[in-house]
Structure 1
């Protein structure tokens, strides 16, 4: 059977992207088509102009949303939704809003190796490093460490990220998203069907089963 193509448009500073990823994973298990799915992670930088060193999260979020209290209220809603999806948001540990360009390039490095299970584990690990552990995923050293924890070669990762490799692919992905009319993340495309937002597992499972039926026909 032809593999079902799934494209996950994401950014690592988007908490709903992590929740959407967990809901998609649940759908893959429930739908019974997981083995017949090919997942491609498509970077979508929400803050491409963020300084390379990132920004103090409290200051950044206060300016963006008008008050720190409003930001905290939004964080509480996300944390509650995360528990339902099986992920832990520890916002008290998150001190900086990072520039995610390096993290996107790390995902490009992983996908180039064509080891889907390791790539999926790394994708999950970067979110957990940021939202659960409060690590700075804009930092080269942090990303090398996270990759090494998921069995990638630390020296190869560091060399890749210190080069210009992956820059062109990240920029091309954003241009393609603009062409397709994707304006927000998560946007998950299942065999051509666009699903916006961190939808419940049942929504993704339905799309996966429908794609499997079309392939079988």
Structure 2
């Protein structure tokens, strides 16, 4: 059997309240399967970006936030319907009507960072996305974050202790600023070996092709 070729690392810059990031995660998972069929090993790491960096720590009522953002409740509902349909195409069942508050996501990003240190980052990211978009979980609430972290394989008490401290806050804010300094304005954004390739929930086949082309270019440069 051929040896799997180590292609390196994909970095995903995302926010836990970005619906296209969850949809993009499903496309990425399929892209990874395609790469594996070509004997390419790959690692994935998730990095912070705040869609609402000025969001109050307690968050805001979602309906109020959406009206302010989109200019009216009807417009907001139309967008939610399109998002729900797009999610269904990748096997996700969104229930956006269950979301009561749009949260500040710094603590969610701190949880994702903590999960990365514990080796369960992808599982915790999945729980956050599913909790928020499918179940309406308030991912600005520390107890709910601890519950979701535990579902993803973390120790609940350790998560609560981490969130009660300032652990990871400086690093999350620095990561967010780093993404902005790199010119990233929207998420999800995807990078290979530190080189940002594209943004958006592009189809899996296109993702896999972009990663393979980029890897070939990088490999040739290093030769």
Q: Which residue of structure 2 aligns with residue 12 of structure 1? A: 16
Partner of 1:150: 152
Contact kept? 1:190, 1:207, Cα under 8 Å: no
What residue is the counterpart of 1:43 in the other structure?
48
Deviation at 1:162, TM superposition (A): 0.7
Equivalent residue for 2:111?
A: 106
1:90 aligned residue: 95
Q: SS at the partner of 2:127?
A: helix
Gaps of 5+ in 1: none
Contact 1:193 1:207 in 2 (8 A): no
- Of 194, 198, 203 in structure 2, the residue corresponding to residue 200 of structure 1 is 203
Could you say if the C-alpha distance between residues 78 and 200 of structure 1 is closer, same or farther in structure 2, counting changes exceeding 3 Å? same
Q: For 2:131, which of 114, 126, 129 is the aligned residue?
A: 129
The TM-score normalised by the length of structure 1 is: 0.92
| TM-score computed with the length of structure 2 as normaliser | 0.90
Q: CA deviation at 1:97?
A: 0.7
Give the count of matched residue pairs: 214
Which of structures 1 and 2 has the larger relative contact order (alpha carbons within 8 angstroms, sep 6+)?
Answer: 1
Instruction: Give the RMSD, CA atoms, in angstroms.
Output: 1.8
CA contact (8 A) 2:149 2:156 kept: yes
Q: Which runs of 5+ in 2 are unaligned?
A: none
Question: Counterpart of 1:7 in 2: which secondary structure?
Answer: strand
Contact 2:123–2:153 at 8 Å: present in 1 too?
A: no
How many Å separate the matches in 2 of 1:163 and 1:66? Answer: 38
Shift of 1:193: 4.4
